Structure 1
Amino acid sequence: MPHFDEFYADKLRGSLGVTDAEAVLDLRGAKRATAEASLKDMLERSRFGKSKVVAVRLDSPPEGGGETLFQPIGRLLLDAKRRGLIERLQTLPAQDGLGFYVSLAGKPQRSPA
Protein backbone atom coordinates (compact mmCIF):
# COMPACT_ATOMS: atom_id res chain seq x y z
CA MET A 1 0.00 0.00 0.00
CA PRO A 2 2.03 2.93 -1.26
CA HIS A 3 0.06 5.74 0.43
CA PHE A 4 0.26 4.45 4.00
CA ASP A 5 3.04 4.08 6.54
CA GLU A 6 3.79 0.40 7.06
CA PHE A 7 2.27 0.62 10.58
CA TYR A 8 -1.12 1.74 9.25
CA ALA A 9 -0.98 -0.60 6.28
CA ASP A 10 -0.54 -3.52 8.71
CA LYS A 11 -3.57 -2.32 10.66
CA LEU A 12 -5.65 -2.34 7.46
CA ARG A 13 -4.38 -5.80 6.58
CA GLY A 14 -5.48 -7.02 9.99
CA SER A 15 -2.09 -8.10 11.32
CA LEU A 16 -2.66 -7.39 14.98
CA GLY A 17 0.38 -8.00 17.12
CA VAL A 18 2.08 -7.57 20.47
CA THR A 19 1.67 -3.78 20.53
CA ASP A 20 -2.10 -4.15 20.04
CA ALA A 21 -2.53 -6.56 22.97
CA GLU A 22 -3.50 -5.54 26.49
CA ALA A 23 -1.24 -8.22 27.99
CA VAL A 24 1.54 -10.59 26.92
CA LEU A 25 1.91 -14.21 27.99
CA ASP A 26 5.57 -14.85 27.25
CA LEU A 27 6.19 -18.58 27.00
CA ARG A 28 9.63 -18.25 25.41
CA GLY A 29 12.07 -20.52 27.18
CA ALA A 30 9.31 -22.45 28.99
CA LYS A 31 9.08 -26.23 28.98
CA ARG A 32 5.98 -27.72 27.38
CA ALA A 33 4.29 -28.73 30.65
CA THR A 34 4.88 -25.28 32.18
CA ALA A 35 3.67 -23.50 29.06
CA GLU A 36 0.50 -25.59 28.86
CA ALA A 37 -0.21 -25.04 32.57
CA SER A 38 0.28 -21.27 32.21
CA LEU A 39 -2.04 -21.14 29.21
CA LYS A 40 -4.72 -23.26 30.91
CA ASP A 41 -4.51 -21.01 33.97
CA MET A 42 -4.94 -17.89 31.82
CA LEU A 43 -7.95 -19.42 30.05
CA GLU A 44 -9.56 -20.51 33.32
CA ARG A 45 -9.11 -17.08 34.93
CA SER A 46 -10.49 -15.39 31.81
CA ARG A 47 -13.87 -17.05 32.40
CA PHE A 48 -14.42 -14.86 35.46
CA GLY A 49 -13.10 -11.49 34.24
CA LYS A 50 -13.80 -9.01 31.50
CA SER A 51 -12.75 -9.73 27.93
CA LYS A 52 -9.19 -8.82 27.01
CA VAL A 53 -6.62 -9.28 24.30
CA VAL A 54 -3.43 -11.24 24.96
CA ALA A 55 -0.37 -11.87 22.82
CA VAL A 56 1.07 -15.33 23.46
CA ARG A 57 4.76 -15.38 22.53
CA LEU A 58 6.65 -18.58 21.73
CA ASP A 59 10.23 -19.53 20.92
CA SER A 60 11.26 -19.68 17.29
CA PRO A 61 12.43 -23.04 15.97
CA PRO A 62 16.06 -23.83 16.79
CA GLU A 63 18.62 -23.58 14.01
CA GLY A 64 18.44 -26.61 11.79
CA GLY A 65 14.81 -27.25 12.76
CA GLY A 66 13.18 -28.91 15.69
CA GLU A 67 10.06 -28.84 17.81
CA THR A 68 8.44 -25.70 19.12
CA LEU A 69 5.43 -25.07 21.34
CA PHE A 70 3.48 -23.70 18.38
CA GLN A 71 1.48 -26.86 17.64
CA PRO A 72 0.59 -27.95 21.21
CA ILE A 73 -0.27 -24.40 22.32
CA GLY A 74 -2.20 -23.85 19.08
CA ARG A 75 -4.28 -26.97 19.76
CA LEU A 76 -5.13 -25.77 23.26
CA LEU A 77 -6.14 -22.36 21.91
CA LEU A 78 -8.29 -23.91 19.14
CA ASP A 79 -10.03 -26.09 21.71
CA ALA A 80 -10.69 -23.00 23.88
CA LYS A 81 -12.10 -21.21 20.82
CA ARG A 82 -14.47 -24.12 20.18
CA ARG A 83 -15.61 -23.93 23.82
CA GLY A 84 -16.33 -20.21 23.48
CA LEU A 85 -13.51 -18.96 25.71
CA ILE A 86 -11.81 -17.19 22.78
CA GLU A 87 -13.51 -14.81 20.37
CA ARG A 88 -10.60 -14.23 17.99
CA LEU A 89 -7.45 -16.23 17.35
CA GLN A 90 -4.72 -15.53 14.83
CA THR A 91 -0.98 -15.86 14.52
CA LEU A 92 1.26 -12.92 15.35
CA PRO A 93 2.72 -11.00 12.40
CA ALA A 94 6.24 -12.03 11.33
CA GLN A 95 7.93 -8.98 12.91
CA ASP A 96 6.62 -10.01 16.36
CA GLY A 97 8.02 -13.53 16.15
CA LEU A 98 6.25 -16.81 16.72
CA GLY A 99 3.01 -16.75 18.68
CA PHE A 100 -0.69 -15.98 18.74
CA TYR A 101 -2.96 -12.97 19.08
CA VAL A 102 -5.85 -14.03 21.31
CA SER A 103 -9.04 -12.16 22.16
CA LEU A 104 -10.47 -13.74 25.31
CA ALA A 105 -14.27 -13.76 25.59
CA GLY A 106 -14.35 -13.09 29.33
CA LYS A 107 -17.31 -13.59 31.62
CA PRO A 108 -20.58 -13.90 29.69
CA GLN A 109 -22.97 -11.00 30.22
CA ARG A 110 -26.19 -11.98 31.94
CA SER A 111 -29.36 -10.68 30.43
CA PRO A 112 -31.89 -9.14 32.82
CA ALA A 113 -34.58 -11.64 33.72
Structure 2
Amino acid sequence: MDVSQVFDLNGKGAVEALALVEAALQEQRRDEEVKLWFKFDPPQPGGGETLFQPVGRRLRDAIKHGHAVRAMPAQGGGWIVRLAAKVR
Protein backbone atom coordinates (compact mmCIF):
# COMPACT_ATOMS: atom_id res chain seq x y z
CA MET A 1 0.00 0.00 0.00
CA ASP A 2 1.36 3.40 -0.97
CA VAL A 3 1.16 5.39 2.26
CA SER A 4 3.59 7.82 3.87
CA GLN A 5 3.07 6.60 7.42
CA VAL A 6 1.14 3.90 9.30
CA PHE A 7 -0.35 4.55 12.73
CA ASP A 8 -1.16 1.29 14.53
CA LEU A 9 -4.23 1.82 16.72
CA ASN A 10 -4.69 -1.86 17.62
CA GLY A 11 -5.46 -2.35 21.30
CA LYS A 12 -6.16 1.35 21.88
CA GLY A 13 -9.36 2.67 23.38
CA ALA A 14 -11.36 5.31 21.53
CA VAL A 15 -10.01 8.24 23.58
CA GLU A 16 -6.37 7.24 23.13
CA ALA A 17 -6.85 6.42 19.44
CA LEU A 18 -8.57 9.74 18.72
CA ALA A 19 -5.76 11.61 20.50
CA LEU A 20 -3.23 9.87 18.25
CA VAL A 21 -5.30 10.66 15.14
CA GLU A 22 -5.57 14.30 16.19
CA ALA A 23 -1.83 14.56 16.81
CA ALA A 24 -1.07 12.97 13.43
CA LEU A 25 -3.41 15.36 11.62
CA GLN A 26 -1.92 18.42 13.34
CA GLU A 27 1.77 17.48 13.33
CA GLN A 28 2.20 16.48 9.72
CA ARG A 29 4.41 19.05 7.99
CA ARG A 30 4.07 18.67 4.27
CA ASP A 31 4.59 20.52 1.04
CA GLU A 32 2.68 17.86 -0.87
CA GLU A 33 -0.34 15.70 -0.20
CA VAL A 34 0.44 12.64 1.92
CA LYS A 35 -1.45 9.44 2.74
CA LEU A 36 -1.70 8.09 6.27
CA TRP A 37 -3.05 4.72 7.34
CA PHE A 38 -4.77 4.58 10.71
CA LYS A 39 -4.69 0.82 11.12
CA PHE A 40 -6.82 -1.27 13.45
CA ASP A 41 -8.36 -4.71 13.36
CA PRO A 42 -11.57 -5.22 11.39
CA PRO A 43 -14.68 -6.05 13.42
CA GLN A 44 -14.99 -9.52 14.91
CA PRO A 45 -18.32 -11.26 15.50
CA GLY A 46 -19.46 -10.35 19.00
CA GLY A 47 -16.43 -8.13 19.47
CA GLY A 48 -18.28 -4.92 20.32
CA GLU A 49 -17.66 -1.46 18.95
CA THR A 50 -14.52 -0.85 16.91
CA LEU A 51 -12.63 2.37 16.18
CA PHE A 52 -14.16 2.58 12.70
CA GLN A 53 -16.94 5.06 13.51
CA PRO A 54 -15.14 7.40 15.93
CA VAL A 55 -12.04 7.66 13.73
CA GLY A 56 -14.21 8.04 10.64
CA ARG A 57 -16.11 10.93 12.23
CA ARG A 58 -12.85 12.72 13.07
CA LEU A 59 -11.56 12.25 9.52
CA ARG A 60 -14.87 13.55 8.13
CA ASP A 61 -14.35 16.70 10.20
CA ALA A 62 -10.80 17.03 8.84
CA ILE A 63 -12.21 16.92 5.30
CA LYS A 64 -14.90 19.45 6.17
CA HIS A 65 -12.26 21.89 7.47
CA GLY A 66 -9.88 21.40 4.54
CA HIS A 67 -7.15 19.51 6.44
CA ALA A 68 -7.79 16.30 4.52
CA VAL A 69 -8.78 15.69 0.93
CA ARG A 70 -10.24 12.21 1.21
CA ALA A 71 -10.67 9.31 3.64
CA MET A 72 -11.63 5.75 2.79
CA PRO A 73 -11.78 2.43 4.60
CA ALA A 74 -8.54 0.47 4.32
CA GLN A 75 -8.70 -3.04 2.94
CA GLY A 76 -6.61 -4.40 5.82
CA GLY A 77 -8.67 -2.62 8.48
CA GLY A 78 -8.79 1.01 9.53
CA TRP A 79 -8.81 4.18 7.45
CA ILE A 80 -6.56 5.68 4.80
CA VAL A 81 -6.61 9.47 4.69
CA ARG A 82 -5.07 11.77 2.13
CA LEU A 83 -4.00 15.03 3.77
CA ALA A 84 -3.92 18.29 1.86
CA ALA A 85 -0.63 20.12 1.40
CA LYS A 86 -0.26 22.92 3.93
CA VAL A 87 -0.09 26.42 2.54
CA ARG A 88 2.95 28.22 3.87
Normalised-by-shorter TM-score class: 0.7 to 0.9
Q: Show the counterpart of 2:53.
A: 71
Q: TM-score, normalised by structure 1?
A: 0.69
Higher alpha-carbon deviation: 60-69 or 50-59: 60-69
The total of aligned residue pairs comes to 86
Q: Show the counterpart of 2:35.
A: 53
* % identity of equivalent residues: 36
Shift of 1:106: 3.2
Q: TM-score, normalised by structure 2?
A: 0.87
Distance 2:52 2:42 in 1: 9
Deviation string for 1:59-107 (max 9, x for gaps)? 22233241001001100000001000001211112xx2x2111111131
Q: How does 1:1-113 map to 2 (within 5 A)?
A: 19-46=1-28, 49-50=29-30, 51-93=33-75, 96=76, 98-109=77-88
Q: Please state which structure has a larger fraction of its residues in helix.
A: 1
Unaligned runs of 5+ in 2: none
- Please identify the structure whose Cα radius of gyration is greater: 1
Distance 1:45 1:106 in 2: 12
Q: Secondary structure at the match of 2:7?
A: strand
Deviation string for 1:6-48 (max 9, x for gaps)? xxxxxxxxxxxxx2111101111111111010001011113xx
Distance 1:32 1:90 in 2: 19
Q: Secondary structure at the match of 1:36?
A: helix
Distance 1:42 1:65 in 2: 27
Unaligned runs of 5+ in 1: 1-18
Distance 1:61 1:22 in 2: 25
Q: Please state which structure has a larger fraction of its residues in strand.
A: 2
